Each structure stands twice: as structure tokens, then as C-alpha cells.
Structure 1
């Protein structure tokens, strides 16, 4: 991912107010973020556990999404799969995130949701820098192929958030 500065990150958000974007807590100083190892920057807000953010380059523009994490499910299922990277996690490490749609649709209350790694560290799981607790399905894809698959899913999600209906 091409490096971004704090002003670019804050200005990128398409589904929250300028005031919300200005007040959000960044994951680290921009110079400390390992940009070459990321396809997107994702983090949970340490001051508000239900808030999360994703920032990425999408069609040559920086797009930031404000997300909300749902309460942990009380399902009998024991594991689930991230909708971006395909990593299998126990339910404690997987969250349902919803994103207000951009524009009037979002102001009208329309959202889009998906299950993701609760810590939003998909890029690190794909590169083997983090190991999930759950047993992973056998795959014969290279790391680059897995990253390409995640990017396809990620950009599809962003496109759906940006759609005006």
C-alpha cells in the first residue's frame, strides 16, 4: 500500500462526518505503519471498542470506511471465516462489522455488513505474521494469490458501500 499521512487518512472517510473523522483515534503515527505489508489499513478504536476503521486505495483514491462491530454472537457455531482474507477464527476472534453506506443512502440508515477478523489484521494473517487459533482449511494458493483474492473481496465491499441507490 502506498504510504499515507494523517491528514490523508482523516480526509478519506466517505461514510462519517468530518467531525467524526477528525476525532477518531489513529492506530499509530503514520511513519510507524508498515505500509509495504498492507493492502489496507484496518484498526479498532481503543477508546470505543465497537468502532473500527478501514482505509485503502480504491480506484486511485484513498477511501476510508467507518465500521461498527456488533456484539459477540451467541451462536452454537464454534468458528467462522473472515469475509476479506478467508482466515478461519473462533467466534471470539471474528466480528460482524457494518458500514453505513456513503451519501444519502447511509444518512437514511442503510448499511452493509460482513464478518471479518475482529482485529482487522487480515494482511498479517495472509503473510503468516499472525497465527489464528483455529485450524485452517488446506489451500494450495500462493500468498500472492491469497492477497489478490482478498483485494477482490475488499474492493467489492467498498464498491457496494459507495453505491448510491
Structure 2
């Protein structure tokens, strides 16, 4: 991912107000060259998370809300972006308000993702999940491409009514 300065990151958000974007706590020391997207949890507000994704010639930022951990008998779940299997506590349901009027009316979309939003690091082997992973025949490049397609579909759902 191409490096972005704080002003570019804040200007990219499509599903929150400018005031909300201005108050976002940005991450420090981002390894841009190792990331396909920028995703982080707000250290000051753990229920908030952010996703900044390159999309064509633009960058789209999404404000997300993290749901409370589910009370389920499942022991593991799979991230919808990177297809990494994690213990249930390491997967979170994130919801994003839709862009435009639909979002202002309270409409959202959601998906289950790695709680730390470190999908790029899991795909590249920089981080190891706590549970064994199923064997895949796809190369790292193909897995990254698959993840980027899934992220693109999620972003498109948020932008549908814009």
C-alpha cells in the first residue's frame, strides 16, 4: 500500500462525519510496504476500528464498530477477508454504516474479521494464528489477491447507495 499522511487518511472516510474523522486516533509506525490495506482498532475506544483501502485511483476509509464477543459454543471461526482460522475470541463482528443517506438512516453491513485487523500479516506469515490452519494450495500472491477481492466487495457494499 502507498504511504498516506494523516490528512489523506482522515479525508478518505466515507461513512462518518468530518468531525468524527478528525477525532480518529491514528496508528503510529505503519509498515506500509507490508500492508494491502490499513486496518486498526482505536486504542482509546476499543469498540471502534477503521479500515483504509486503496480502490482504483482513490482511497476509501471506513469507520467500523466492533460487536461484543459472541457467546457461542463454536471454538473457532474464519476471517471473511484473509480466510485465517482463529479461536473465537480472536474473530470479531465488525459493522460499517453505509455511506450517504442510508448510513445516516442507520443502515449497516457487517462481517467477521480478525480482531486485530492484521490480515496482511497473517497471509504473509509475519503473525501466526493460535490454531493450526487448513492446508491451502493457493500461493501467497493468490491468497492476497483473494483477500483484496473480498475487501473490495465489502467496500462496494458500504458504497452502494452513495
User: Among residues 33, 41, 56, which one is paired with 2:53 in the alignment?
Assistant: 56
Residue 77 of structure 1 corresponds to which residue in structure 2? 74
Q: How many residue pairs were aligned? A: 162
TM-score, L = length of structure 1: 0.96
1:14 pairs with 2:10: no
Shift, 1:63, TM fit:
0.5
**What's the offset of the Cα at 1:93?**
0.5
Tell me whether 1:38 sits opposite 2:48 in the alignment.
Answer: no
Question: What is the CA deviation profile of residues 120-144 of structure 1, one whole-angstrom value per residue up to 9, with x for unaligned ones?
Answer: 0000000000000012111011110
| 1:60 Cα offset (Å) | 1.2
Query: How big is the shift at 1:56?
Result: 1.3
Residue 16 of structure 1: CA displacement? 0.4
- Structure 2 residues not aligned, in runs of 5+: none
Pair 1:160 & 2:162 matched = no
Helix, strand or coil: the match of 1:10?
Answer: helix
SS of 1:102 mapped into structure 2: coil
CA distance in 2, matches of 1:94, 1:33: 22
Q: Which residue of 1 aligns with 2:113?
A: 116
The separation in 1 between residues aligned to 2:157 and 2:36, in whole angstroms, is: 18
**2:142 counterpart residue number:** 145
Q: Give the deviation of 1:59 after TM superposition.
A: 2.1
Aligned counterparts of 1:67 and 1:60: Cα–Cα separation in 2 = 23
Q: Distance in 2 between matches of 1:33 and 1:11?
A: 18
Quote the Cα distance in structure 2 between the aligned partners of 1:85 and 1:15: 23
C-alpha RMSD over aligned residues? 0.8
Quick one: distance in 1 between partners of 2:89 and 2:31?
A: 26
**Matching of residue 25 in structure 1 with residue 37 in structure 2:** no
TM-score, structure 2 as length reference: 0.98
Cα shift at 1:2: 1.0
